[in-house]
Amino acid sequence: MIDSLAPLQRHKLVLWMNHGILIRDVNLRRVYSLLGYSEAAARSALYSLTLGAIGLPRDAIEEFLRRNELREAFVSLFGRAEI
């Protein structure tokens, strides 16, 4: 089982698979700002992937996928065994 509480305590913004996004900060205005930044970043990442951009360094994303057991999901979504 993956520990969910630790990331929620360490980070102000967590994208929680099958649940959605959780954002916390000192006031509601800052929460909305973080939401806006995260939406813009997600949109940019999606456009980048759609247009076939180069992407992240292989070693950085490989470690992330392995650590979070997401390699199979990545291959399923993007159709490539190599990253």
Q: How far apart are CA 15 and CA 52, in angstroms?
A: 24
In the chain, where the domains are located: 1-52, 55-83
- Tens digit of pLDDT for each residue in 7-58? 888 899 998 888 888 999 999 999 999 999 999 888 888 877 787 776 666 6
**3-class DSSP state for residue 23?**
strand
Q: What is the pTM of this model?
A: 0.55
